[in-house]
Amino acid sequence: MSSYFTDLAQQYIDGEWRPGTGSWDIIDFNPYDGEKLASITIATVDEVDEAYQAAARAQKKWAATNPYARRAVFEKALRIIEDREQEIAEVIVAELGGTFLKAGFELHLVKEFLREAIHLALRPQGKIIPSPVDGKENRVYTVPVGVVGVISPFNFPLLLSLKSVAPALALGNGVVLKPHQNTPIVGGSLVAKIFEDAGLPGGLLNVVITDIAEIGDAFIEHPIPKVISFTGSDKVGRHVATVCASHFKRAVLELGGNSALVVLDDADIDYAVDAAVFSRYVHQGQVCMAANRVLVDRAIADEFTEKFVTKVKSLKVGDPRDPQTVIGPVINSQQADALSGVVEQAIAEGATALVHGTTTDNLVAPSVLTDLPADSDLLRQEVFGPVAFLITFDGEEEAVALVNDTPYGLSGAVHTGDIERGVNFAKQIDTGMFHVNDGTVHDEPIVPFGGEKSSGLGRLNGESMLDAFTSLKWISVQHGRSGFPF
């Protein structure tokens, strides 16, 4: 495993591994024990430019390559991941502080999305559209946008990098990837290594490991990329969207959430408890789709709360390398401090802590809070960690109003004994995704993934990848002679 953090602690530009030329290093730490994993000299604005220039040079030939030949690269990338799965899982655990359960979950999805990328290479199709002009043939071609800039987050860095990188490449584009500073290997250089070993031509995929303190907005302002695919917070996403709009770029934004899991009065309570605990505490709650809020009908609130609290208390907190651990560390000390602050603020506002988790270094034990005042800002913001807010309601109408009372609209779930009641409930929620009798954390390769309101712009997955990473080009052919008024 250590070889990943030594061999891959570099920039990958124009098919070459090389150090950055910045004046300082990004230090990659294990969030559980503080071990220094790697030191990476950052990329400068000049290297961002070199990466984009390389992608633009390589893209034309790649776009002209037979899509069946392009497809073979993704088939090999999939085999590489399957062959190295245990090693990659260990790297995920070390760099992210995720458990092996989480690593397995992420790698499962990575393989599914690569399988979809294999098919995506053959998906673009042209059309011939009728014309009101005699002898006119209207051809509409689906073409690559050219070069795509991808900015990925720290929570599922391999998946959320590949989720944009692989489709963009499969559809004939070049890519420059900027991973999060806390996960430069799993989210960045590991992706480059997989595709390099899979035979992707040099220059098509470039990875720049850097920081906005060094490059400012250069990554998104650069004139070459036509699309910026960003996954992260709504605050940063708002800035990315603004810069993209001012430069006439397409922005695909997968942003934060404040999802709710709703338990109606006819729900299977034991099943709903299991779904709610997973939905809130998977990967320490560092998931955009996580159920920040758990809403329970007052008629069953006592039984649900007792069982929910009991299960949360049973979750083992500790070393993510221990197979029994469910809650590992959050990504860094700033995140840990912020989460402690959320719990203390809630209690100061009058909330009751049914479970009051302690914080030790980056280990934040689960908390369950109830009786938070209805006007608390905490109920309307994303809490990226193992803190659950339990809220009671009286009837579906109140539940719908509570779920929608947030600036976000990413995911959610409802539990009920009546499927159609659940579907009707889901239709009333202002969100991009909603699940009946399941958890809030789901992603599949061919369903449209994305949010409403402050949770993002656009969709990814399946046919939505064509909308994200291709453009339509109209070429008309006049058979015979056209008539002109002068």
Q: Which residues pair with 139 in a beta bridge?
A: 128, 475
Query: In Å, how far are 230, 272, 349, 368, 465 from 250, measured between CA atoms?
Result: 11, 39, 42, 40, 13
Tokens 């991808």 found at: 150
The angle that helices 157-170 and 190-197 make with each other, rounded to 10 degrees, is 40
Residue 244 among the catalytic residues:
no
* CA gap 184, 179 in Å, rounded: 5
Judge whether 403 and 424 are in contact, CB under 8 Å.
no
Give, in degrees to the nearest 5, the angle at Cα 292 between 287 and 294. Answer: 135
Q: Is residue 288 annotated as a catalytic residue, yes or no?
A: yes
Phi/psi-derived region of residue 175, left when phi > 0, alpha when psi is between -120 and 50, beta in every other case? beta
Which position among 95, 244, 288, 396 bears the catalytic label? 288
**CB-CB neighbours of 21 under 10 Å:** 12
First to last CA, the chain: 74
- Rounded to whole angstroms, how far apart are CA atoms 178 and 150? 6
The answer to whether 462 touches 116, Cβ cutoff 8 Å, is yes
Beta strands in 221-343 (DSSP E): 227-231, 250-254, 259-263, 291-297
Among candidate residues 47, 196, 254, 396, the one labeled active-site is: 254
Q: Which residue bears the tokens 């053959």?
A: 122
- The secondary element (H helix, E strand) that includes residue 11 is strand 11-13
- Active-site residues: which are they? 254, 288
